[in-house]
Structure 1
Amino acid sequence: MAIDYERLKNWKIPVIETSYTHKDTMLYAIAVGLGSDPVNAQQLRFVYENELKVLPTMATILGHPGLWIQDPAAGVTWQQVLHGEQSIEIHEPLAPAGHVAGRTWVDEIVDKGREKGALIYQHRTLTDVATGRILCTLVSSIFCRADGGFGGPPRAAVPPHPVPAREPDVLCDLPTLPQSALLYRLNGDFSPGHVDPEAARNAGFERPILHGLCTFGTAGHALLKSICDYEPERVRKIAARFSSPVYPGETIRTEIWRDSPNRASFRCRVSGRETVVLNNGLFEHDD
């Protein structure tokens, strides 16, 4: 079954409520590499319950709608989808524990052509259930590699944020663990391609890959460390495009350009392979 533009554009995605505890907050931080230096006081604030802080990128796992595109009526070959882009705009810092609601809808579907696939843009707001206040706005794209040419109306993909051509101002190397994907999946993404070698091969990868959102969280860690001195309340927006997978155990190098006092560009590579894994990154923050 091919994608039906009108059906997918008006797809009703249920509101997802998530209750999370201090333990969940610490697990997320450990899964994206915090605590690698167990006596670093700045990192301990994210993995120790005493005056616990929350990584802003944790918003990506809260109120998540899951793989709703697995419904056959969606017309998507879900085994061939990849996370294309992700952005988070922070309106209020996340509490270390809470009860939130994620409201997700499809913004647009772009038909790139039969040989080029399709893009589904989805929008999510994360709301504090107790107060009704919107905490974060998240926008992401799903790259449907096998579903182009469905005949959707002409639409242009969102242009990427350009990174400077000059040498970066800051480099931040953060290692991942061989078991990073096994840790990160405990946050709720149990897709088999991150743990099952056969599922990974069937998807075109030599072995299980790291979750894209774990790479995104590692980049968020690098930005928080390099630009905001581990002060999460200063973070306003993080956005990037996924360009290649990371294999657990690789080191992610985040290249950062200081564009202005409150804005930076970034991209991420893996050391050794010199492959860009996150590109067109934008980071906005307070002083």
Structure 2
Amino acid sequence: MNLEKLLAWPFTPLEDTLNARDCMLYALGIGIGDNASDPADLQFCYEKDLKVFPSQVNVIAHPGAWITAPELEVNWVKLLHGEQSFEIFKPLEAGRTYVGHYRVRDVLDKGEGKGSLVFLEKELRDKETDERVSLVTSTYFLRGDGGQGGTITEGPVPHRIPDRPADQSLSLTTLPQAALIYRLSGDYNPVHADPQLAAKAGFERPILHGLCTLGVATRAVLQQYADNDPARLRSLQLRFSAPVYPGETIVTEFWREGDEVSFRSLVAERDLVVLNNGRAIVSQ
């Protein structure tokens, strides 16, 4: 890893015009529409009075595979998506154009042989008004790039799940073809579609995108604590723990304290935590 070039990487502002089709396709990709006659689902899947699902802020104006640039000298084959967070200042609207402004905020060097953490930040602004609508942070674990320096010595402390039984839980089953639908929102990594490449990566079959699993958990939060009103979700953060296979059932457990909802998600079929240290702020 070339730390100097990584920190100074010249990201170009990226424009993304949200058309209704893209918004509906994203919603279908995270499983919305399984109850096709329910107004709670139709608000995201039908062009009449269409609303944009809030976690779509994670995928619009995406910078692509920038970290694979040879001059960055990153061993990107060993990259893992460790954490994701987003804060919403104004809901997205279909038909508007947004501009993504990126920067590498920090790098934490865990030491030689231990890897590094890269904290990437995206600020989304409305092109017409220049109003800030969202702030998105992605944490990448570069397993093959430790011992090459950083900007910080300690990272953010993961949100702590309360030490008591969950207050509630909600199960949502993913479709067998979920990854094939979700990838049409922009992430065409073949590990989510090609069985042979998935096997080479150590998986028994193609896995679901981590951000798709995040979308499913966001659905659960809105359904359980916001009456399916996307405007009530202010922020969400989580840590990716393990991959999900399309077709599996994601069970999200919740602990609520005022506006704060702590959560984690498990795969029912394997009794395995796949999302952890989750925290959402939902207005009353």
Q: TM-score range by the shorter chain?
A: over 0.9
Question: Do residues 268 (structure 1) and 265 (structure 2) align?
Answer: yes
| 1:157 CA displacement | 2.1
Task: Report Cα offsets for 1:156-190 as digits up to 9, x if no partner.
Answer: 12210001111111101111111111000000011
- The corresponding residue for 1:149 is 147
Alignment of 1:48-87 (within 5 A): 48-87=46-85
The one-letter code matched in structure 2 to 1:273 is: R
Quote the offset at 1:276 in angstroms: 0.7
2:190 is aligned, of 189, 192, 197, to 192
In 2, are the aligned partners of 1:104 and 1:125 still within 8 Å (CA)?
Answer: yes
Moved over 4 A (4+): none
Shift of 1:116: 2.4
Q: Is the 8 A contact 2:263 2:279 kept in 1?
A: yes
Provide the residue aligned with 2:276 in structure 1: 279
RMSD: 1.2
TM (norm. structure 2) is: 0.97
Tell me whether 111-120 or 85-94 shows the greater mean CA deviation.
111-120
Give 1:120-131 correspondences, 5 Å limit: 120-131=118-129
One-letter amino acid matched to 1:166: R
In the alignment, structure 2 segments of 5+ residues that lack a partner are: none
Describe the SS at the equivalent of 2:110. Answer: strand
Q: Deviations over 1:200-239 (max 9, x none)?
A: 2332322211111000111111101101001011110011
Kept after mapping to 1: 8 A contact 2:106/2:152: no
Distance 2:122 2:11 in 1: 10
Q: What percent identity do the matched residue pairs reach?
A: 44
Q: Is the 8 A contact 1:256 1:266 kept in 2?
A: yes
Deviation, structure 1 residue 263? 1.0
Which residue is 1:243 aligned to?
241
Structure 2 CA distance for partners of 1:197 and 1:27, relative to 1, 3 Å: same
Match of 1:97 among 95, 98, 101: 95
Which of 75-84 and 206-215 deviates more? 75-84
Q: Is the contact between residue 25 and residue 97 of structure 1 (CA under 8 Å) also seen in structure 2?
A: no
TM-score normalised by the chain length of structure 1: 0.96
Identify which range, 130-139 or 141-150, moves more after superposition: 141-150
2:135 — aligned with what?
A: 137
Given candidates 18, 21, 25, the residue that maps to 2:19 is 21
- Amino acid in the other structure paired with 1:248: P
SS of the residue aligned with 1:94? coil
Gaps of 5+ in 1: none
Per-residue CA deviation, residues 229-270 of structure 1 (Å, 9 max, x unaligned), is 01011110011011111111111111111022x111011110
Q: What secondary structure is seen at the aligned counterpart in 2 of 1:254? A: strand
The alpha-carbon deviation at position 150 of structure 1 amounts to 2.3
Deviation at 1:154, TM superposition (A): 5.8
**Matched residue type, 1:132:** D
* Cα deviation digits, residues 3-45 of structure 1 (max 9, x gap): 1222211211111111121111110001001000111121111
What is the count of residue pairs matched by the alignment?
284
- Residue 44 of structure 2 aligns to a residue whose secondary structure is coil
Match for residue 117 of structure 2 among 112, 116, 119: 119
- The change in CA–CA distance for 1:173 and 1:133 in structure 2 (over 3 A counts) is same
1:169 matches 2:164: no
For 1:97 and 1:143, the matched residues in 2 are separated by 35
Q: Partner of 2:216 in structure 1?
A: 218
Counterpart secondary structure, 1:113: coil
Contact 2:102 2:120 in 1 (8 A): yes
SS in 1 for 2:228: coil
Which digits, 9 at most, give the CA deviation of each residue in 1:120-163, with x for residues without a partner?
Answer: 10111111101110110011101112222224466112210001
Q: Point out the more displaced range, 91-100 or 226-235.
A: 91-100
Per-residue Cα deviation, 1:74-124 (whole angstroms, up to 9, x for no partner):
111222212111111000011123211100100111111233221110111
Give 1:198 deviation, angstroms: 2.4
Counterpart of 1:206 (choices 201, 204, 207) is: 204
The amino acid of 2:217's aligned partner reads A
Note if 1:88 corresponds to 2:86: yes
